[in-house]
Amino acid sequence: MHTAVSKKENIIDKFSSLIDLSGGNSSEWKIGIASIERASLLNVKDEISFQKVQIDEAKEILFHFIAQGVQTCNMSKSNYNGIYLYR
């Protein structure tokens, strides 16, 4: 039987891998929901990953990483089109 993996799970895996590979603490990272244009205005020190995803899935991903100790970034959600993780 073939099991489909949701886009949400793929994004969680990708973001988790980035945090793990950094060798740092999850609290060094920030996550937020915004448009790519707004995310481009962030003060990124090292790296950023942006993924297009529906708002409901983005909120679930956001809460997953808040529970892991990742800080939130309060960008405007107007013209939203994705979720980002950066440090």
List alpha helices for 5-50, DSSP H: 7-22, 36-39
Domain count, the chain: 1
Whether 82 is in a domain gets the answer yes
Whether 44 is in a domain gets the answer yes
pTM: 0.85
Whether 2 is in a domain gets the answer no
What are 34's strand-pairing partners?
A: 82
Whether 1 is in a domain gets the answer no
Whether 69 is in a domain gets the answer yes
R_g of the chain, CA atoms, integer Å: 13
Whether 42 is in a domain gets the answer yes
pLDDT in tens, the chain (87 residues): 445 568 899 999 999 999 999 998 999 999 999 888 888 888 888 889 999 999 999 999 999 999 999 999 877 667 788 999 999
State the amino acid at position 46 in one-letter form.
D
